[in-house]
């Protein structure tokens, strides 16, 4: 018998996602394939379940849903934020012990970027952290190949730069009084390689990009490759 969070009916695909580590789309697929039963009856898309219902997958009764886990990782450069290794490039899951292999990343950092990335088995948390309507602040330390001209700084901060997928406006703050290559970049969006593309559109190359903050979460003193369990805030 499954232990749901409350007596209110829960969508079956959501419950399967929690119990099996599937995405909701994957859960829908196994429901459609006839591999799921509720109280001995083949389930259908849109079904809901309550605490008294018995859910079976491939004729195996599913137990209580796992505890939610929230993990912060300091991703080093050279790791992809996916489960599948890309050529000889390792995945960040190589840095985690087996008990955390089923967690999913909350957004991504590309192979050449480092810093804070969150992982969890809580789909609702992921939605709150990544959906544009929630505007979670992300902070990065960025090193450029050459000094940023004041005019370009003003363009990025005050007016935004036009990219193929829309305007990109970033908050910039110098990290050093002695150089205009090092910047703290604060953003509310999370479009693919947005920071790199913004500077590239003005003729700059991002040499390094390191995320230090994501919403209420900060990297702190974690070393590259280290991780820790964090509280949901």
Same domain, 47 and 78: no
Same domain, 114 and 101: yes
Domain with 92 in it: what CATH number?
3.30.70.580
**Which residues lie closer than 8 Å to 233 by C-beta, 6 or more apart?**
216, 217
pLDDT at 146: 97
Residue 173 lies in a domain: yes
Same domain, 75 and 56: no
Rounded to the nearest 10 degrees, how much is the dihedral formed by the CA atoms of 168, 215, 224, 112?
Answer: -20
Same domain, 164 and 126: no
Q: Tell me: the pLDDT tens digits for 147-159? A: 999 999 999 999 9
pLDDT at 21: 72
Residue 112 falls in the annotated catalytic set: no
Domain with 157 in it: what CATH number?
3.30.70.1560
Confirm whether pTM is higher than 0.75. no
Domain with 47 in it: what CATH number?
3.10.290.10
| Pick from 185, 106, 118: nearest CA to 148 | 185
Q: Tell me: the pLDDT tens digits for 44-90? A: 999 999 878 899 988 888 875 557 889 999 999 999 998 887 788 99
Cβ-based burial of 98 (10 A; exposed 0-12, middle 13-18, buried ≥19): exposed
Residue 171 lies in a domain: yes
Residue 92 lies in a domain: yes
β-strands 161-163, 206-214 pairing = unpaired
**Which residues lie closer than 8 Å to 66 by C-beta, 6 or more apart?**
18, 19, 121
129 or 145, which is more confident? 145
pLDDT at 2: 40
Residues of the chain with pLDDT > 90, as a percent, come to: 64
Residue 210 lies in a domain: yes
Q: Where are the beta strands (DSSP E) in the chain?
A: 10-11, 36-38, 41-42, 48-49, 55-57, 60-61, 70-75, 104-106, 114-120, 138-144, 161-163, 166-168, 171-174, 182-187, 206-214, 217-218, 227-229
Same domain, 75 and 142: no
| From 28, 110, 124, 178, active-site residue | 110
Q: Tell me: the pLDDT tens digits for 213-224? A: 999 999 999 999
**What's the domain range around 83?**
70-131+218-229
What domain count does the chain have?
3
């Amino acid at each position: 018998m499954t232990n749901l969070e409350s007596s209110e009916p829960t969508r079956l695909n959501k419950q399967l996602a929690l119990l099996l580590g599937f995405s909701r789309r994957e859960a829908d697929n196994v429901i459609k394939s006839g591999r799921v039963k509720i109280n001995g009856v083949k389930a259908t898309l849109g079904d809901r379940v309550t605490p008294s219902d018995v859910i079976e997958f491939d004729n195996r009764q599913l137990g209580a849903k796992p505890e939610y886990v929230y993990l912060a990782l300091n991703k080093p450069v050279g790791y992809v934020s996916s489960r599948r290794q890309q050529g000889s490039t390792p995945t960040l899951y190589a840095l985690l012990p087996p008990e955390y292999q089923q967690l999913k990343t909350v957004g991504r950092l590309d192979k050449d970027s480092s810093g804070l990335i969150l992982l969890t088995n809580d789909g609702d948390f992921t939605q709150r952290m990544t959906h544009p309507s929630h505007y979670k602040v992300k902070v990065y330390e960025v090193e450029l190949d050459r000094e940023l001209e004041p005019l370009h700084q003003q363009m990025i901060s005050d007016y935004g730069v036009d990219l193929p997928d829309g305007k990109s406006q970033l908050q910039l703050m110098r990290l050093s009084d002695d150089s205009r290559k090092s910047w703290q970049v604060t953003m509310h969006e999370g479009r693919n390689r947005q920071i790199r593309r913004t500077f590239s559109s003005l003729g700059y190359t991002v040499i390094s990009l390191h995320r230090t903050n994501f919403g209420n979460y900060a990297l702190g003193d974690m070393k590259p490759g280290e991780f820790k369990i964090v509280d949901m805030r």
